């Protein structure tokens, strides 16, 4: 086994929303590093373990040993904790007037890495966390990113870990909704996460036999969905399943935002209820809403997610060993390869309108409300 090219200590941070597979990445990083004679430390809750150490009884930085990562591959969540409220480039700080301001603490963070003898960082996260990782790398830190998000909206990788577990669970939920919708002749609207991309809604809508799928990439007209429901009725199917991405919006309208706070992304939600209300008015049919929400983020990772998480973690250590920095590991089947972090975070990966899954859905008669 090679030495991890003059690396003595690697830090791992998990940032943003949790996703099944985070612990598998941590295990792969730790074992791959230890097997090369390199130590590993975990930073609590994004970078808070370094920026706010007084908040943690263990000082915010924990040594990751073989024992620490024993038996964690199958566990959801992250043993390090995570946050989407502590971006070091826009760190929320309360002023004397009680107002929250955003302060750039990245230089201080770099000094903290140095002070703790950390040679390199493996940053596991979505677009926000990897954008931060790229800035830290441009400022001189050795960084490799690992793409995580149930939303699958990161560019330059075919898939992010967490997505497969989320869609598998959501599809199982929709399977269960068919019988109750059918028994009551109802329309059931299922709202799923995904932020501004429709990957989750599209995949679970097609796999779960939805009648309509509403995604951010295709602004909808509910008259069209009502027509689809009427067609189902005429064809003898007296119920309907409509899958709505939380970021979907009507033609000429706005997406449904629950709240916007300083220092964090806007929180989406409420579109399912809105669609259900309007569909009830248009069709007269009894309509119910199910919001799957954070259920999609929990649970044990699927075999697929475990495997790519382990592959990503090990590949991240190999990248550092080879002297790479400022890159993200990415799945380019059958290989895991490295792409510049700046390319991966330049734009969000949304569903292409000519994607095979959209064409398949249309061929099956599924409505997109367009």
Q: What is the DSSP letter of 88?
A: G
φ, ψ (nearest 5 deg) of residue 232:
-55, -45
CB of 365 to ligand F6P, least distance (A): 28
Task: Outline where DSSP puts E strands in the chain.
Answer: 9-14, 39-43, 61-63, 91-94, 100-103, 120-125, 142-147, 187-192, 212-214, 240-245, 257-259, 267-268, 287-291, 327-332, 335-340
121 pairs with which residues across the strands? 11, 143
User: Strands 91-94 and 61-63, how do they pair?
Assistant: unpaired
Q: Does 148 bind ligand F6P (CB under 6 A)?
A: no
Residue 195 near ligand F6P by CB under 6 A: yes
Pairing mode, strands 120-125 and 212-214: unpaired
Q: Give the shortest CB-84-to-ligand F6P separation in angstroms.
A: 5
Radius of gyration of the chain (CA): 22
Q: Decide whether 15 or 17 has the Cβ nearer to ligand F6P.
A: 17
Judged by CB, which is closer to ligand F6P: 130, or 232?
130
Kindly state the smallest distance separating residue 153's Cβ from ligand F6P, in Å.
8
Out of 101, 185, 251, 267, the residue judged to bind ligand F6P by CB under 6 A: 267
Q: How far apart are CA 52 and CA 31, in angstroms?
A: 27
Q: Which stretch binds ligand F6P (CB under 6 A): 51-59, 148-156, 177-185, 339-347?
A: 148-156
**Restricting to residues 48-87, which ones interact with ligand F6P according to CB under 6 A?**
84
142 belongs to the binding site for ligand F6P (CB under 6 A): no
58 is catalytic: no
Applying CB under 6 A, among 148, 297, 311, 349 the residue interacting with ligand F6P is 297
∠ CA 101-107-112 to the nearest 5 degrees?
110
Nearer to ligand F6P (CB atom), residue 196 or residue 338: 196
In the complex with ligand F6P, the residue whose CB is nearer, 232 or 248, is 248
Helices (H), ranges, 242-302:
271-283
Q: How far is CA 305 from its chain centroid?
A: 12
Other CB atoms within a 10 A radius of the CB of residue 98 amount to: 6
Closest of 330, 32, 30, 361 to residue 203, by C-alpha = 361
Instruction: Round to whole Å and give the CA distance between 299 and 12.
Output: 22
Query: Least distance from C-beta 212 to ligand F6P, angstroms?
Result: 20
Contact 206, 267 (CB under 8 A): no
Number of other residues whose CB lies within 10 A of the CB of residue 259? 9
Interaction of residue 151 with ligand F6P, rule CB under 6 A: yes
249: contact with ligand F6P by CB under 6 A: no
Give CA–CA dist 307/296, Å, rounded: 19
Asked if 361 interacts with ligand F6P (CB under 6 A), we say no
- Which one from 18, 119, 127, 151 is the annotated catalytic residue? 151
Contact range with ligand F6P by CB under 6 A, out of 24-32, 74-82, 149-157, 350-358: 149-157
Among 193, 222, 229, 276, contact with ligand F6P (rule: CB under 6 A)? 193
Contact status: 229 vs ligand F6P (CB under 6 A): no
Nearest to ligand F6P of 258, 364 (CB atom): 258
Active-site positions read 151
Judged by the rule CB under 6 A, the positions of this chain that interact with ligand F6P are 17, 84, 126, 149-151, 193-195, 246, 267-268, 297
């Amino acid at each position: 086994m090679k030495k991890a090219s003059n690396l003595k200590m690697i830090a791992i941070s998990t940032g943003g929303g949790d996703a099944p597979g985070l612990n598998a990445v941590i295990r792969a990083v730790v074992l791959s590093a230890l097997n090369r004679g390199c130590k590993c430390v975990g930073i609590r809750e994004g970078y808070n373990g370094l920026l706010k150490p007084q908040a943690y009884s263990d000082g915010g930085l924990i040594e990751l040993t073989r024992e620490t990562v024993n038996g964690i591959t199958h566990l959801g969540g992250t043993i390090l904790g995570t946050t989407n409220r502590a971006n070091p480039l826009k760190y929320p700080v309360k002023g004397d007037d009680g107002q929250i301001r955003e302060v750039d603490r990245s230089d201080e963070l770099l000094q903290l890495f140095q002070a703790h003898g950390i040679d390199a960082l493996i940053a596991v996260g979505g677009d926000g966390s990897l954008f931060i990782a790229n800035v830290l790398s441009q400022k001189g830190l050795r960084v490799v990113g690992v793409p995580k998000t149930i939303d699958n909206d990161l560019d330059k990788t075919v898939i992010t870990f967490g997505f497969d577990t989320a869609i598998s669970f959501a599809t199982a939920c929709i399977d269960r909704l068919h019988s109750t919708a059918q028994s009551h002749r109802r329309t059931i609207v299922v709202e799923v996460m995904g932020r501004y991309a429709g990957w989750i809604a599209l995949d679970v809508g097609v796999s779960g036999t939805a009648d309509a799928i509403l995604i951010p990439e295709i602004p909808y007209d509910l008259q069209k969905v009502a027509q689809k429901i009427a067609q189902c009725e005429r064809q003898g199917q007296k119920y309907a399943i409509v899958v709505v991405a939380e970021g979907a919006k009507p033609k000429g309208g706005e997406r449904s935002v629950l709240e916007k706070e300083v220092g964090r992304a806007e929180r989406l939600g409420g579109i399912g209820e809105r669609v259900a209300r309007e569909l009830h008015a248009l069709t007269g049919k009894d309509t119910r809403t199910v919001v799957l929400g954070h259920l999609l983020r929990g649970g044990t990772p699927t075999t697929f997610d475990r495997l790519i998480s382990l592959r990503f973690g090990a590949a991240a250590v190999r990248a550092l060993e080879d002297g790479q920095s400022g890159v993200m590991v990415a799945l380019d089947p059958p290989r895991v390869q490295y792409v510049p972090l700046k390319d991966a975070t330049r734009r969000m990966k949304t569903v292409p309108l000519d994607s095979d899954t959209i064409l398949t859905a249309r061929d099956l008669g599924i409505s997109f409300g367009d």
